[in-house]
Amino acid sequence: MHASGLALAQLGAIFFALGLLGRLAQRLGISPIPLYLLAGLAFGQGGLYPLEGIEQFTTISSEIGVVLLLLLLGLEYTAAELLTGLRRSWPAGVVDAVLNAAPGVAVALLLGWGPAGALAMGGVTWISSSGIVAKVLSDLGRLGNRETPVVLSVLVMEDLAMAVYLPILATVLLGAGLLGGLSAVGVALAAVTVVLVVALRYGWVVSAIVHSTVPEVFLLRLLGAALLVAGLAGELGVSAAVGAFLLGIAISGSTAQNASRLLEPLRDLFAALFFVVFGLNTDPRDIPPVLGVAVALAAVTATTKIATGWWAARSAGIAELGRFRAGAALVARGEFSIVIAGLAVTSGAVDPGLAPLAATYVLIMAIVGPIGARVVEPLVRRLRGGGGTRPAAPPAGAPSRTP
C-alpha cells in the first residue's frame, strides 16, 4: 500500500474507532476523554500497534482542537464578565498557584533536579487543562451552573499567568540574563493587555468582521480569525489557547450564539484528536519506573485542586455542592503541562527523567479529572445523606452564559 493510502486508512480507522468509543462512553454515562487517551496510548510508540505516517496531520489537528475548545469557551462570556470574574477571583489565583505548584517543586528538589527542574515541575502540577475542563463542563451540561464562572476565572488566571511564567521558564532554561527575561515578559503582557482592551471596547467591531449571513462564509471567517489570532499569540509568547479564548470573549451577541452552533461539531472532532495525540506521544514502557511517584503526586495535587476550587467557590458565595463541583472540575492537567515539560527536556537543562514523570502524571490526571467531575456530585450527596440542592436549569431556549 502506498504511504498516502496507508495514512488515509489509519486516519479512517482512528476516526471510526473514536466514534465507537464515543458511543460506548455515552452508553456508560461517562466522558469519552479517558477512552480517547487510552486509545492513543494503545496505538502510539511502544503500544499494541504503533501507527506511522500520520504525525504531521495529528499534531496540527490536536492544536486546532485546543484552539476551538478555548474559542467556544470564550464565546460563553463577554469581556465585562471576564474582568468582573478576574477582579473577584484573583485571591483564588494566588491560592491556586501556591497550593498546586508547591508539590511539583518539592518532588523535583527531592529528586535532585535543581532550581530549573523545580520551576518546570511546579508549572506541570500547577496548571489545569483548559481544554479538558471546557470539554467536561460541556459534556456534563454545567456551563450554566453558578460555580462555572468561578471555574473559568481560575482557568483564565492560570492561562494569563502562563504569559509571564513561560518566558521566565524559557529564560531560566536557556541561562539568559535578567534583561532578556524581563523583555519577553513585557511583550507577553502587552499582547494580552491589547487584546483585552480591544475585546472590551471594540468587541462589536470584531463581531461585525467575522459575521456573515452565509454559513459557509461565516465559518471560514471565524476559523481563519481564530487560527490567525492563536498563531500570532503564540509568536508573541502568549499561549495560542489564550489568544483563541480572548477572541471568543471579543465576539458577542447573536454572532457568538451562531458561532457556537456552527463550531460545536468541529470542536468535538478536533478535541478528540487532541486527546488521542496526547496518548500517542506517551510511551507505555516509560510509565512503570515513575508510576509510584506520579500516583503520589496525582493524589496530592488532586486534593489541592479540589481545595482551590472549593475555596474559590466559597468566596463567591456558592453552596457546598457547587464548591465541590468547582474543585473537581479543575483537577485535570493536560496541554500546558505537556508544553512545559517539553520545553524543559528539549532545553537539556533538566534531568531527562522529568519527561516520563510529567507524561505519566498528566495521563493520570487527564483520566481522573473527567471521572471525578462526574462522580463528585452523587458522592457528596451520598455522604451528606442526600443534602444539597441542584442548580436551577436555565429556561428553555435561553443561552448558557451566566451573568
For the stretch 295-334, pLDDT in tens is: 999 999 999 999 999 999 998 889 999 999 999 999 999 8
CB 221 within 8 Å of CB 273 = no
- φ, ψ for residue 399, nearest 5 deg: -70, 155
3-state secondary structure of 317: coil
12 burial via Cβ count (<10 Å: 0-12, 13-18, 19+): exposed
How many Cβ atoms from other residues are within 10 Å of residue 65's Cβ? 25
**Of the options 1.10.357.10, 1.20.1530.20, 1.20.1080.10, 1.20.1050.140, the CATH number for the domain spanning 9-383:** 1.20.1530.20
Region class of 51: left (phi > 0), else alpha (psi between -120 and 50), else beta: beta
Look at residue 1 in the predicted model and tell me its pLDDT. Answer: 52
Listed in sequence order, the residues at least 6 apart from 217 whose beta carbon sits closer than 8 Å to its beta carbon are: none
Residue type, 357: L
For residues 100 and 110, what is the distance between their CA atoms, to the nearest angstrom? 17
Distance CA(259)–CA(72), nearest Å, equals: 8
- Smallest CA-to-CA distance from 195 within 145, 151, 245 is with 245
What does the block give as the cell for 24?
A: 460506548
CA 373 remoteness from chain centre: 15
DSSP state of 31: -
As a whole number of angstroms, the distance between CA 180 and CA 351 comes to 24
Instruction: Locate all alpha helices (DSSP H) within 177-252, ordered by sequence.
Output: 178-201, 203-210, 215-235, 240-250
Whole-angstrom Cα distance, residue 29 to residue 43?
A: 25
Closest CA to 223 of 192, 249, 248: 248
Instruction: Give residues with Cβ within 8 angstroms of 4, minimum separation 6.
Output: none
Distance CA 403, CA 401 (A): 6
| pTM across the whole model | 0.71
Say how far apart CA 225 and CA 231 lie, in whole Å: 10
The pLDDT of residue 251 is 85
**pLDDT in the model for residue 18:** 86
197's CB contacts (< 8 A; 6+ apart) are none
Answer for the pair 125, 297: CB distance below 8 angstroms, yes or no: yes
Q: Which residue numbers in the chain have pLDDT < 50?
A: 387-403
Measured between its terminal Cα atoms, the distance across the chain in Å is: 56
Contact 159, 130 (CB under 8 A): yes
User: Of 378, 384, 388, 381, which Cα lies nearest the Cα of 320?
Assistant: 388
pLDDT digits (tens, 9 = 90+) for 176-193: 555 666 676 676 667 667
Any idea how long the chain is?
403
Q: Which helix (H) or strand (E) segment is 64 a member of?
A: helix 55-75
Whole-angstrom distance, CA of residue 273 vs CA of residue 279: 10
